[in-house]
Structure 1
Amino acid sequence: MAPAYAQTKLVDFDQKSLFISACSIAFNPLFWNIVARQEYHNKVLTKLFGGRSQTACYGLAATIFSIGIVRDLLYERALRHQPSHPLLDSDLVTYIGYALLACGNILVISSTWALGITGTFLGDYFGILMDDIVTGFPFNVTDAPMYYGSTMSFLGSALVYSKPAGILLTGWVLLVYLVALRFENPFTAEIYAKRERERAAGKKEGKKQR
């Protein structure tokens, strides 16, 4: 006779909440990348906020934070509609899940603390650049603590609730973030490289005028 867990459905693909959650996960980084690039090239948000770039950045930060909450609620809803699996229903797995949640939140919160609101929420695209690159914790652990911390939290929730579908969605989260990083990192690097070129040009001009 087959063990009980062999007869347990891993993921219920008939649940619409699963696909709604997956769409929300993909939508968020797509949204903020499109909006931020429009801001960088056309100053769309700054114009909307009456020329106040910092206020516009805070507005985008509030929006990103809000859709992040919606995404997390949709993920939790999707998990509730999915089957649990006996192999994940153990104290050890639950403890691992809580440890991942704790570590993930530490990475997210500490990176926000280190960068500040504008540094965290794409202030670079608004012309609000940091003076120096942050190299301390958590950036000495990973170059994308916000993304990897969030991924760890998704996985932690999946393990706490014993949901294989959560593990599947966590893989989707990681893939979406990795794709986002391939676009974000070079673009951000170019923003700072442009500033350094402008500073160097300014110094040369200053020397000529002496």
Structure 2
Amino acid sequence: MAAFSQVDSPKVWLVTACSSGFGKEIVLAALARGDRVIATARDASKLQDLVHQGARALALDVTASDAELKKVIARALSFYGTIDILVNNAAFLLGGAIEECTDEEAYQQFNTNVFGTLRMLRAVLPHMREKRSGVVANIGSAGGWFGIKTMGVYGSTKFALAGLTLALRAELEMFGIDVTIIEPGSFRTATLGKGFSGNKLGCECVSSTFECPLFVS
């Protein structure tokens, strides 16, 4: 996509969940190519190392209300006057057997991984539509291509995100907004540490490790 290629004028990125993992690495890569980045996390104090690298930091929780997120995005727009690239990275992994997953656990998984993305879209897309340009990059998972035991509910959120991305791409094409999904496989990030939760039966299902490819669509 043109917006991701090296260009003379710097782009302005807004990235969710940047305190570690992919979010942090995306911020560092964008800064390295001379772009401007608004890094966000639920706890902005965890972004100080990125601030020292040149990023702007904002506290942002994708599970907050639409009204609260609109306030945060208004603050983000006050930094550079625009948002060219939105990276929806916020997610966590609920591990374990589907059978033992409670309604509340499933809701929390979808609330962050899917509804959180929808809230960010509602907050940012009006600005992109007005200027008739922009890029939305959703961070999915190879688990959104096929079912993986002990990751069924998590994977279903990524299946949902893939479907939303494809439809969103068609809806926004007329406004000059590009939409993509990046679907990595297994990486050692916080998603498999502090961002992981599981249940007993799921632990009994795990018999081997696996590696998955990276998909970009």
Q: TM-score, normalised by structure 1?
A: 0.34
Q: Which has the higher strand share?
A: 2
Name which one, 1 or 2, has greater alpha-carbon Rg.
1
* RCO comparison, higher one (Cα < 8 Å, 6+): 1
Provide TM-score, normalisation by structure 2: 0.33
Q: Which has the higher helix share?
A: 1
